[in-house]
Structure 1
Amino acid sequence: MTAGAIKAVLFDFGGVLAEEGFREGLMALAIEQGLDTGHIATQGMQAVYDSGFVLGKGTAAGFWALLRERTGLRGDDGLLSERILHGFVPRPWMLERVRQLRAQGVVTGILSDQTHWLDELDNRYHFSEAFDRIYNSYYLGKGKRDPGLFADVLADLNLPAAAVLFIDDDAGNVARAQAMGLQAIRYIDRQGFEAALEAILPD
């Protein structure tokens, strides 16, 4: 694999580097409690922004309170949070790809709409050692819904947009990155990702 024009690769966390613990965890809770799975997944994504939690302007308690109000979800904050954290299981093969890229001199980073939960997950799994940069919306005060976040990241990397590859499972995030000039891959499954990565960074 030769990096060529790509100087940095940025990975989303949930749904790319790890299993998607947030959405899947909420849907599992909905099934257990007899709630609508689609509704709770949608409301969860909205509440994490509306509560300010994902941008470091709110708390887990505020997020769970808002989600209970909007969906009827039940449960203790700590237990609910643990159910979400439990689902974010890192993908060893993906982390191996990260290490391969880094060994070639490519800058590797996480670019994730996350909270302090990402720190807790790193304490469990120690994945941060594979990355040069970690861009977490909780500390940046901006999420990937804001195109300005990509400009901020490019400025920090001191790289032109075309030299950065971004990988995310959310179509909207991929589209916003591409609109800012980044190269991007939408992660759907391993086979598709491997093929797309090979096309951009051939062996």
Structure 2
Amino acid sequence: MPVCRPGAVLWDADGVLQAAAPGWRERLVGIGGEDFLQDLFDAEKPCLRGESRFEDAVARVLARHGIQTSAGDVMASWAEIVVDTAALSLVDEVRGRGVRCYLATNQQDYRRDVMRARLPYAEHFDGEFYSCDLGVAKPEARYFTAVLDAVELPVGQVLFIDDSGRNVNAARAVGLQAVLHDPIAGASGLAAILRRYDLI
């Protein structure tokens, strides 16, 4: 049983509220192969901390691999996002019970901009915490302390939901109530978590 009913919930995005559109990996591998894809992922990591623009990082990877495709064509795969509308309905239900909800996600600047411009999160959340804006990414403890400073609630009154065990363990180490979500369980799995904490 939880120590207390949370006063706020931090929701991860990918694997909890949204997923990449089918076929994104195959499209990127088709551009440059598996090594190219891994190089992209490695180049993205500093961008998640706001240390570099993702477009510049992608351009450098393309140059290293001698690929003529534009950075924009590659980045388009990061913009193909499918939102779980049933999960968003749960966010609304939690907020309807007077509990604040915040998006807490690792994203680089390009995908952050896509999510802000094309996805409806501003209508469903009390705030959005993107790692590239905070200058630190999960599972670093400083990510969670930065969010807690903004939320202004005691750490034990904040619930964190994520599909990464590393992130969940890091949140617990800081003192948050934290639960691992299985993406395969979808909205029904989220509902079970929320019922456990008396949030719906």
TM-score band (shorter)? 0.7 to 0.9
Residue 34 of structure 1: CA displacement?
Answer: 6.7
Structure 1 unmatched ranges of 5 or more: none
Which one is further off, 12-21 or 61-70? 61-70
Q: CA RMSD in A?
A: 2.6
Q: Are positions 1:115 and 2:112 aligned together?
A: no
TM-score relative to the length of structure 1: 0.82
Q: Which residue of 2 aligns with 1:10?
A: 10
Q: Which residue of 1 aligns with 2:189?
A: 192
Local SS of the residue matching 2:19: coil
Q: Are positions 1:160 and 2:158 aligned together?
A: no
Local SS of the residue matching 1:109: strand
Query: Residues 187 and 62 (structure 1 numbering): CA distance in 2 closer, same or farther, change over 3 Å?
Result: same
Which one is further off, 94-103 or 57-66? 57-66
TM-score relative to the length of structure 2: 0.83
Count of matched residue positions in the alignment of Structure 1 and Structure 2? 193
Any conservation in 1 of the 2:160–2:176 contact (CA below 8 Å)? Answer: yes
Query: Residues 127 and 32 (structure 1 numbering): CA distance in 2 closer, same or farther, change over 3 Å?
Result: same
- Report the residue type matching 2:33 in the other structure: L
Residue 94 of structure 1: CA displacement?
Answer: 0.8
Percent of aligned pairs with the same residue?
A: 27
Local SS of the residue matching 2:83: coil
Matches within 5 A, 1:72-111: 75-86=69-80, 88-111=81-104
Query: Residues 145 and 46 (structure 1 numbering): CA distance in 2 closer, same or farther, change over 3 Å?
Result: farther
Local SS of the residue matching 1:134: strand
Structure 2 unmatched ranges of 5 or more: none
Local SS of the residue matching 1:105: coil
Matches within 5 A, 1:21-100: 25=24, 27-33=25-31, 35-36=33-34, 42-49=38-45, 52-68=46-62, 75-86=69-80, 88-100=81-93
